Amino acid sequence: MAEKKDYKVVGTRPIRHDGVDKVTGRALYGADFYAVGLLHGRVLRSPHAHARIKSIDTSRAEAHPGVRAVVTAKDFPDVEDKIADLGEGAANVKDLQDNVLAGDKVLYKGHQVAAVAAIDPHTAEEALELIDVEYEVLPPVISVLDAMKEDAPLLHENMRTDEMGEKSENPSNIASHFQHKQGDLEKGFAEADVVVEREYTTETVHQGYIEPHNATALYNPDGHLTIWCSTQGAFAVREQVAEILELPVSKIKVVPMEIGGGFGGKINVYIKPIAAMLSMKTGKPVKVLMSRADVFEGTGPTPGSYVRVKMGATNDGHITAAEAYLAFEAGAYAGSPVGAAAFCVFSPYKVENGQVDGYDVVVNKPKTAAYRAPGATNAAFAAETVIDEICEKIGMDPLEFRILNSAKEGDIRVDGPPAPRVGFVETVEAAKDHPHYSAPLEGENRGRGVASGYWPNFGMKSSVVINVTADGTISLVEGSTDIGGTRAAIAMQAAEVLGIPAESVTPTVADTDSVGYTAVTGGSRTAFATGYAAYEAAQDVKQQMIERAAKLWEVDTDAVQFADGVFSTVNGKEEEIDFKGLAARLDETGGPVVGRGTADPNQPGPSIGVHVVDVEVDPETGKIDILRYTATQDAGKAVHPSYVEGQIQGGAVQGIGWALNEEYIYNEKGEMTNASFLDYRIPTCLDLPMIDAVIVEVPNPGHPYGVRGVGETPIIAPPAAIANAVYRAVGVRMKELPMSPGRVLKTLGKI
């Protein structure tokens, strides 16, 4: 499987199936849902970063004439202290519940404390002011290094450090420490001609999806709960709500609405269980919406971190040893993406002598969530700038260095497993051969930088059902939220099998009662794994259609061939019929044809990208302008190249935002001071050049068309590439993210 082939549908650029609805504004998002008798829920949030809840008095709110129900953590069932698998990352159910409505303590400003359902949104807002919460304010701890100190204020008085399986004696904010080790580190560094060791810090950043979280729930007296919401995974919502409210999954139906961006941040539930509880209390449908400030302060961003990387190399450019110390903020509860960071930090390279230490640390910030290659960007910012310094010291072109040190299939990685095949060398060469890399860069304070980014990609479970329609089209029912054009990419894979055009497929993202289990849209898995399930379902259809053709022609199924969308036989009689013709004759050959496919593929195939950026720095103001940007990436096989390019561009832009200005800014009380899109500065189109996305195709042997996930990888390289460009522009190495104008001025010694 998966050699380079010519396809009829895969690799083309049809108009997406959901395109008209989206561009005309007709697509229905979570907040668009309406039901008769609808009540409106609003959530009271903690004003403190860290406090004990001494009491909550809801009586004044309950007495308000427009209020129909109030809920607090007391309304939760007692859940077991256990780990639930939520697709992209597992979570402790008690933590999950405590994050939805705080129990004994609030652990960050914005932590949900209580909620009301009222006759309209304004009444609900007003009623929140009638809930009296008495707090005992505690000192907050905001940064990872402060939280790791022995005398740091403790978030969880009973939490012990899991030290590679053993529990620490004393309580600590360090939830866990792990270590990966290969070879002989000391020997490796002794063999190096050049050793560079640097420390880096990054701040908390948010995914910045445009649509805030939303949920409408209706609990029926028969015990069935329905939730309409936008989410990256309807089944993940079902599982979490079932765990938090102790309901059987079979009693919950989650109806996915269109989603206005997620990037990892719409997997965890926040207001969905609250909408459900309010509906249980009132018997009415209840809609809960977040504001932008709620989203910033109350939902999972990606962590701030402290990263130290030490790397040694010989004068001829071979890495001899590499070491990384990764300390990541988990937010209020254990579970940062430090494991993924450890996985990715040195993965593009052959590192025979290596060690990676990872620390998962709780701080008084929202519990972190996934964000596009979670953890990898923090780690790559460090590793990829250390490599740049090494290249400078030994006088080697940074792309040559990457080719020289690229991990080959089977090389053992620092974290243990052998490296799978990925087109790193091909991707570096695409960057090197691109006109951008050899274009002269003239003018003062300008510089060019490069960096690479690696993400392993995920497989996980998907289900697809295909119904053949009498007019020769198919309806394709899937369970994957379409965030980046996956309806099209999945439909195209089925169309390829059946020899029909992409336009002959009608894809539908179904609710949890109407399709088989499908894991979240995350881990860059959807075009790969749900596409795989669609391929299997189409194969099933194909097989059944062959049987129908055989019946029609009264020949053995073995005598029927299928090629280029045409069924044919030469056995005794020569007959042929195309897919459409045969679809019209299903009634006379046994009735409807329904194909099914499931997938749980274990070879997602990593993805790797190399980015080249030109910047200009204003040395008087510290502002960095992005002049030109090129991103190359191995997509395995780009099913719909426009959406692959879109992913590469979108990821690069988010990485640029992370590099330049995005950060949670905290005051000394642990309050975020920039919880709006005015002061949390994502780049606008006026801050960006066109991102030149270059697709490299080294087929993934684990997929019938060679597909690799592409969504996450492109966010990883930008901060390091930009830092390396800034160095060439103005001669300073930036070791903090974001490289905001103030930080640049400071590093330049101007302030």
Residue 445 within binding range of other proteins, rule CB under 8 A:
no
Supply 365's token pair. Answer: 């910030």
Give bridge partners of residue 167 from the DSSP assignment.
162
Q: In what order do the strands lie in the sheet with 319-331?
A: 166-171, 160-163, 174-182, 354-362, 319-331, 305-313, 194-202
Q: Which is nearer to other proteins, 154 or 627 (CB)?
A: 627
Residue 125 within binding range of other proteins, rule CB under 8 A:
yes
CB 347 within 8 A of CB 454: yes
Residue from 54, 122, 167, 573 that binds other proteins (CB under 8 A)?
Answer: 122
Residue 179 within binding range of other proteins, rule CB under 8 A:
no
Residue from 199, 439, 621, 731 that binds other proteins (CB under 8 A)?
Answer: 621
Q: Which is nearer to other proteins, 36 or 678 (CB)?
A: 678
* Residues of this chain, 625-654, that bind other proteins according to CB under 8 A: 625
Query: Least distance in Å: CB of 391 to other proteins?
Result: 30
Using CA atoms, how far apart are residues 737 and 618, in angstroms rounded to an integer? 18
Query: Least distance in Å: CB of 664 to other proteins?
Result: 10
Residue 23 within binding range of other proteins, rule CB under 8 A:
no
Residue from 32, 62, 75, 126 that binds other proteins (CB under 8 A)?
Answer: 126
Supply 412's token pair. Answer: 């053992």
Q: Which is nearer to other proteins, 42 or 253 (CB)?
A: 42
Query: Least distance in Å: CB of 701 to other proteins?
Result: 43
Residue 749 within binding range of other proteins, rule CB under 8 A:
no
CB 265 within 8 A of CB 294: no
Residue 409 within binding range of other proteins, rule CB under 8 A:
no
Supply 694's token pair. Answer: 């270059």
Phi, psi of 115, rounded to the nearest 5 degrees = -150, 155
Q: Which is nearer to other proteins, 2 or 737 (CB)?
A: 737
Using CA atoms, how far apart are residues 675 and 431, in angstroms rounded to an integer? 37
Which of these segments, 310-318, 367-375, 571-579, 676-684, binds other proteins (CB under 8 A)?
A: 676-684
Using CA atoms, how far apart are residues 629 and 690, in angstroms rounded to an integer? 7
The SS3 of residue 66 is coil
Query: Least distance in Å: CB of 260 to other proteins?
Result: 19
Which of these segments, 18-26, 75-83, 194-202, 742-750, binds other proteins (CB under 8 A)?
A: 742-750
Provide the 10 A C-beta neighbour count for residue 158: 6
Query: Least distance in Å: CB of 366 to other proteins?
Result: 17
Using CA atoms, how far apart are residues 672 and 576, in angstroms rounded to an integer? 68
Nearest to 47 by CA among 114, 110, 113, 136: 110
Using CA atoms, how far apart are residues 277 and 117, in angstroms rounded to an integer? 10
Whole-angstrom distance between the N-terminal and C-terminal Cα of the chain?
A: 59
Which of these segments, 122-130, 160-168, 498-506, 644-652, binds other proteins (CB under 8 A)?
A: 122-130
Percent of the chain as helix, strand, coil, to the nearest 5: 30, 25, 45
Contacts of 438 (CB under 8 A, 6+ apart): none
Radius of gyration, alpha carbons of the chain: 27
Query: Least distance in Å: CB of 295 to other proteins?
Result: 14
Three-class HEC string of 337-372: CHHHHHHHCCCCECCCCEEEEEEEEECCCCCCCCCC
Using CA atoms, how far apart are residues 144 and 135, in angstroms rounded to an integer? 25
Query: Least distance in Å: CB of 620 to other proteins?
Result: 5
Supply 288's token pair. Answer: 């809960």
Query: Least distance in Å: CB of 300 to other proteins?
Result: 21
Q: Which is nearer to other proteins, 179 or 667 (CB)?
A: 667
Q: Which is nearer to other proteins, 646 or 741 (CB)?
A: 741
Phi, psi of 127, rounded to the nearest 5 degrees = -65, -25
Which of these segments, 119-127, 141-149, 228-236, 712-720, binds other proteins (CB under 8 A)?
A: 119-127
Nearest to 415 by CA among 339, 516, 510: 339
* Residues of this chain, 679-698, that bind other proteins according to CB under 8 A: 679, 681, 683-684, 686-687
Residue 620 within binding range of other proteins, rule CB under 8 A:
yes
CB 735 within 8 A of CB 674: no
Q: Which is nearer to other proteins, 260 or 619 (CB)?
A: 619
Query: Least distance in Å: CB of 209 to other proteins?
Result: 18
Residue from 251, 674, 701, 733 that binds other proteins (CB under 8 A)?
Answer: 674
Which of these segments, 266-274, 337-345, 596-604, 619-627, binds other proteins (CB under 8 A)?
A: 619-627
Nearest to 605 by CA among 534, 722, 709: 709
Residue from 524, 661, 700, 724 that binds other proteins (CB under 8 A)?
Answer: 661
Residue from 143, 486, 740, 747 that binds other proteins (CB under 8 A)?
Answer: 740
Residue 751 within binding range of other proteins, rule CB under 8 A:
yes
Q: Which is nearer to other proteins, 84 or 745 (CB)?
A: 745
Residue from 170, 435, 678, 749 that binds other proteins (CB under 8 A)?
Answer: 678
Residue 547 within binding range of other proteins, rule CB under 8 A:
no
Q: Count residues binding other proteins (CB under 8 A).
A: 26
Maximum pairwise Cα distance, the chain: 89
Phi, psi of 123, rounded to the nearest 5 degrees = -65, -40
Phi, psi of 10, rounded to the nearest 5 degrees = -60, 130
Q: Which is nearer to other proteins, 576 or 687 (CB)?
A: 687
Tell me which residues touch other proteins (CB under 8 A).
122, 125-126, 620-623, 625, 660-661, 665, 673-674, 678-679, 681, 683-684, 686-687, 740-742, 745, 750-751
